[in-house]
């Protein structure tokens, strides 16, 4: 196999390849851009006009998506997969991946859209570098832009695989993209309603890509991901790469839609989240329930019908989101 087809190995060892550019037997060019960053380019004759960014390992202990991207790259390097899309593969936080930890000093997925400029340390530097990789990759005019940022979750979930769809004033969420997610095995999509500081929010808000954070199951170490079934997603990604997607008719059947009702923000060290430590994402919350309180004088009492909680985490830094209250959405505002 071509040396550049072993991007994970290069990333884990910190090696810089002697050859920065290689061509597969099928004429696909692989170009090493930096640690954990590889560009895949089809021949000009085969190019379908799509620029596809696939990122994983933004949190270093979320290994199933990393293994998925490595499988896809191996297929390209062997010639089994012949992409017609331009592809940028990014392993987001190499140091955290090596350590098998979520992050080194701070959560890199809270440092995009300019937040890294207000911080310091390895994650802030890497967030700035990832933004630049994406900015250059998506700089070609007249092309479609798609970004999947692949994750697994800290905790279990009542809905195993779901996506978060960022928000930008003046843009409408796409029914076509939601149908593509449904075909890729996503069971639910959270339609966000305010700007964010995640990687997918950066590419959606700043670079006009169709961008999604995909949550694909529970985080486990390398080699222990048999319980994370990514077959549908992997098959759909191969179709996207090769421009062979079947016409699914744009169906959203079976896809649950949610929207953010409120974010729970931790204001001080006196923040308390009144939930079991092992509660699963999308667990229902009864009206009137005291979800959280903070010595800063803030209380979160459930007022919404059909409310559920996702990403509860009382250990985040002060000022950051400690959970999201979501409610069902009827999809009336889709484009």
Q: Which residues are annotated as a binding site for Zn(2+)?
A: 59, 62, 151
Distances (CA, A) of 276 to 86, 280, 312: 44, 9, 10
Residue 284, judged by CB atoms within 10 A of its CB (0-12, 13-18, 19+), counts as exposed
Measured CA to CA, the distance from residue 21 to residue 71 in angstroms comes to: 20
Cβ atoms within 10 Å, residue 132: 12
Helix axes 175-183, 231-242, angle to 10 degrees: 120
Tell me which of 129, 187, 215, 304 is the catalytic residue.
215
Q: Name the pairing type of β-strands 37-41 and 144-153.
A: unpaired
Residues 6+ apart with CB under 8 A from 224: 63
240 contacts: CB under 8 Å, gap ≥ 6: 50, 52, 85, 146, 180
How many beta carbons lie within 10 A of that of residue 254, not counting itself?
9
Angle at CA of residue 297, ends 301 and 260, nearest 5°: 40
Active-site residue, 187 included? no
Is-contact 129 122, C-beta < 8 A?
no
Instruction: Return the half-sphere exposure (C-beta side, CA atoms, 13 A cut-off) of residue 257.
Output: 16
| 266-280 residues labelled b (16+ CB within 10 A) or e (exposed) | beeeebebebeeebb
Annotated binding site: 59, 62, 151
Strand 29-34 to 37-41 pairing: antiparallel
Q: Is 189 helix (H, G, I), strand (E, B) or coil?
A: strand
Q: Among all residues, which ones are annotated catalytic? A: 215
């Amino acid at each position: 196999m071509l040396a550049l087809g072993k991007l994970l190995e290069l990333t884990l060892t910190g090696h810089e390849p002697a050859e920065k550019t290689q061509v597969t037997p099928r004429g696909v060019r692989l170009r090493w851009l930096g640690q954990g960053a590889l560009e895949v380019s089809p021949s000009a004759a085969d190019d379908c006009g799509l620029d596809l960014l696939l990122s994983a390992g933004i949190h270093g202990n979320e290994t199933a998506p990393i293994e998925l991207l490595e499988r896809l790259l191996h297929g390209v390097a062997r010639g089994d997969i012949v992409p017609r899309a331009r592809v940028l593969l990014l392993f987001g936080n190499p140091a955290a991946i090596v350590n098998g930890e979520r992050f080194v000093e701070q959560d890199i997925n809270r440092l995009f859209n300019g937040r890294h400029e207000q911080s310091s340390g390895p994650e802030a530097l890497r967030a700035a570098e990832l933004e630049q990789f994406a900015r250059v990759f998506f700089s070609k005019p007249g092309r479609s832009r798609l970004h999947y940022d692949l994750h697994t979750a800290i905790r279990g979930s009542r809905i195993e695989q779901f996506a978060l769809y960022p928000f930008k004033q003046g843009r409408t969420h796409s029914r076509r993209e939601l149908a593509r997610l449904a075909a890729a095995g996503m069971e639910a999509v959270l339609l966000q309603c305010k700007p964010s500081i995640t990687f997918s929010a950066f590419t959606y808000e700043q670079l006009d890509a169709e961008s999604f954070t995909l949550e694909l199951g529970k985080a486990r170490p390398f080699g222990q991901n048999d319980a994370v079934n990514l077959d549908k997603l992997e098959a759909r990604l191969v179709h996207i790469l090769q421009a062979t997607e079947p016409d699914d008719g744009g169906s959203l059947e079976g896809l649950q839609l949610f929207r953010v009702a409120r974010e729970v923000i931790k204001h001080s060290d006196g923040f308390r989240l009144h939930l079991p430590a092992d509660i699963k994402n999308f667990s229902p919350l009864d009206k009137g329930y005291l979800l959280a309180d903070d010595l800063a004088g803030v209380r979160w009492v459930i007022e919404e019908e059909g409310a559920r909680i996702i990403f509860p985490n009382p250990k985040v830094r002060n000022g950051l989101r400690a959970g999201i209250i979501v409610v069902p959405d009827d999809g009336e505002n889709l484009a």
